A and B are shown apart, each in its own frame.
Chain A
Amino acid sequence: MSAYPDDLQYTKDHEWIRVEGETGTIGITSFAQEQLGDVVHVQLPRTGEKFSAHDTFGEVESVKTFSELFLPVSGEVVEVNEALEDAPELVNNSPYGDGWMVKVKLSDKGEIDSLLSSSEYEDFVESQKVE
């Protein structure tokens, strides 16, 4: 049993994607939000913007640091989570639920296959803990 939800795919950049039909919902993992600390600002794209896989689509900022957000797959943004504008802490409180960031219309569903499963992601995170 992985520490990360089994129904999602992951990247080594610590994003997750939930694929439903042609649409993917994207956010950052519980590990990522924990590392960031209290999220105070999320900069998101506009709907209609198109990105290639691994493109920067936004930024997430905590009190003490920030990080770019990378899109796991290619696609067009069809919805952004506007609730994050007033409640960025949702990213901390509910990283896989209300803290989602964007929904994209997938350009190439095959790209999903190159992403990590929950157990692969967990192994990757453990290997990164160099302390």
Chain B
Amino acid sequence: MLGFTFRATILTKCVFRPREDEIEDKNLSKTQLKMTALNEAHRALGGRMIDFGGWDMPVQYPAGTIEEHMAVRTAAGIFDVSHMGEIEIEGPQALELVQHVTSNDASKLADGQIQYTGLTTPEGTFVDDILVHRFSADHYFLCVNASNTDKDFEWIRGHSAGYDTRLENVSSKYSQLAIQGPRAIEIVQTLTDVDLNSINYYWFTRGIVDQAPAIIARTGYTGEDGCEIYFDPAESERIWNRLLEAGKPHGLQPCGLAARNTLRLEAKMALYGNDIDETTTVLEADLGWICKLGKGDFIGRDALAAQKERGLTRKLVGFEVIDKGIARDHNPIYINGEQCGMVTSGSPGPYLKKNIGLAYLPIDQTAVGTRFEIDVRGRRLAAQVVPTPFYKRAK
């Protein structure tokens, strides 16, 4: 162990031994990290802050990642996800533009409904994976990955010529909190008159939360019930503290990015930059359900239709490590002695108490039960393809 670096992200390893690129990067990133309105609150709670894609965010609080993870599975957790970006598309042809740039069929949305979808390249790969909220037939609200916000906005703007719409990057106008877990809804309910139980999964409503106008969405990135609320950043600290207080008797735990990552992995939700990016198609990512080839033309449709016709050569699968040891992001995968892929996300699953991960494997090696080897820093660990999601909550 040598020389701690305090800025290892949840995706980069080696807390102790800084690599040269990290040291160099440190000088750059130290210049100006972006902060959410809750930065002080995280520090006051003892959150350990890291540079997450240019944002100064808590990776964990003193309780630790496992306790935070378990709180979400058994009680509730609260996450500051204000770094996420928001983009609004409004105008007579808003739907047409959304349809043009995304792979799912937004025409199926009703007012107040939400859809997970791909923002796709002409190759059918991901510019980003996003949530589309329909305010009304001519007004949509997109929640996008923090580090992709500017790229997404420019991408959509670049493809908006000829569509009668107005685009706005409204990211700085919103804080976003995710309250997740079996007790999440009853906790948030104490701060609002909106009947949260009447909001179905992947629907939202606009209402008042602790005196602040908010968007309350029944969504999340943990595999649990719960909601994500968007509101004016000026209200952040009060709402955060009120929720922590209201949640105390229910076992609510503030949770950092490390727990967010292990929770989403157990639920097999893709992480942009790891499991999906501009080199992986929607179909390869096993997200065929957000690829609606029949909805009409969209960017990437032809490539995806051709790929479907041809058949896939590789696919994202979930695996479990059989040997003792933990597979990590970027570990190479071997089948019959030949390298044929790498781990895109690998971690212990704290609730499942298994070491799990995701990887793209050759299509003939993707059946459940298929065995392969993972090179973990020189040690070859046996692993096998398992059914996903790894974790599914009881309804």
Contact = CB atoms under 8 A, between A and B. Distances in A.
A9 B4 CA distance: 19
Interface in A87-114: 92
B281 interface: no
Given A35-B15, A128-B3, A63 B65 contact: yes
Interface string B241-281: 00000000000000000100110000000000000000000
Nearest to B259: A63
A73 interface: no
B13 A37 contact: no
Given A37-B60, A37-B65, A38-B65, A68 B326 contact: no
B348 A63 contact: yes
Interface stretch (A10-18, A45-53, A74-82, A115-123): A10-18
B81 interface: no
Contacts of B2: 12-13, 70
A36 B17 CA distance: 12
**B-side binding surface: helix, strand, loop or mixed?**
loop
Contacts of A92: 64
A21 B16 CA distance: 31
A17 to B, nearest CB: 14
B1 A70 contact: yes
Nearest to B261: A64
B249 to A, nearest CB: 25
B165 interface: no
B230 to A, nearest CB: 27
B59 interface: yes
A108 B22 CA distance: 36
A70 to B, nearest CB: 6
B325 interface: yes
A32 interface: yes
A32 B13 contact: no
Contact of B16 (A14, A63, A129): A14
Contacts of A43: 325
B327 to A, nearest CB: 11
B310 interface: no
A88 B144 CA distance: 38
A2 interface: no
Nearest to A32: B1
Contacts of B289: none
B276 to A, nearest CB: 21
B65 to A, nearest CB: 4
B293 to A, nearest CB: 38
A65 B14 contact: yes
A41 B326 contact: yes
Contacts of B64: 37-38, 92
A63 B353 CA distance: 11
A66 B258 contact: no
Contacts of A61: 326
Nearest to A13: B1
A67 B347 contact: no
Contact of A28 (B1, B59, B350): B1
B324 interface: yes
A15 B3 CA distance: 12
A20 interface: no
Contacts of A63: 65-66, 69, 258, 262, 347-348, 350
A37 B258 contact: yes
B328 interface: yes
Interface in B299-333: 324-326, 328
Interface in B375-390: 377
Given A128-B3, A128-B4, A41 B325 contact: yes
Interface string B36-49: 00000000000001
A48 B4 CA distance: 31
Contact of A36 (B15, B261, B348, B377): B15
B6 interface: yes
B10 interface: yes
B131 interface: no
B8 interface: yes
B13 A66 contact: yes
Contact of A40 (B13, B15, B67, B326): B326
15 contacts: A13-B1, A13-B16, A35-B4, A37-B258, A41-B348, A43-B325, A63-B262, A63-B347, A63-B348, A64-B8, A67-B15, A67-B17, A68-B1, A68-B17, A131-B6
Given A12-B3, A62-B65, 13 more contacts: A13-B16, A14-B1, A14-B16, A28-B1, A38-B65, A41-B325, A43-B325, A63-B258, A64-B8, A64-B347, A65-B8, A67-B1, A69-B1
The 6 closest A-B pairs by CB, nearest first: A13-B1, A67-B16, A63-B65, A38-B66, A64-B258, A14-B1
